[in-house]
Amino acid sequence: MRKATSALAALLLAAAGAALAHHSFAVFFDETRDVTITGTVKSFRFTNPHGVIVLDVAEPQGGAHREWRVETNAPVVLMRRGWTRDSLKSGEQVTVQGWPSRDGKPYMRLRAARDAGGKLIGQAAFSQSDD
């Protein structure tokens, strides 16, 4: 019985560690740097556990385009900040600001999004503790 209890305790501790690690965005995103990109919304998934904005971004060095994925907070957090499922529509031009991925891929954690006129659409994460 004692071995089973110890094994169960070890399993629960490992699961708790994995859950905490999931919410440590510092592993994936460089919060010491800030990136701003402008692109056309391809899609906006307002889903759990985190929303995702997919943008078509023109490269500054020429006509090439690159797809960027922008991770947001969970919908419940976004709704508290005024976001809705319709906050972003496919085809809209937006500028997003956030933390870039540590591995250099076109992936970032959203801080704020603005429409083509510069008006704030909404904010997402201010820090890791906001999620």
Q: Which two tokens stand for residue 35?
A: 């990136």
Cβ 83 vs Cβ 45: under 8 Å: no
Reported confidence tier of residue 59, pLDDT bands at 50, 70, 90: confident
Split at pLDDT 50, 70, 90, the class of 63 is confident
pTM, two decimal places: 0.75
Q: Are 87 and 14 in contact (CB under 8 A)?
A: no
Q: Give per-residue pLDDT as tens, 13-25.
A: 444 444 444 455 5
* CATH number listed for the domain at residues 2-130: 2.40.50.140
Q: In the 3-class helix/strand/coil scheme, how is 58-95 assigned residue by residue?
A: ECCCCCCEEEEEEECCCHHHHHHCCCCCCCCCCCCEEE
Q: Which of 2-6, 15-19, 46-50 has the lowest mean pLDDT?
A: 15-19
On average, the pLDDT of the chain sits at 82
Pair of tokens at residue 90: 């496919």
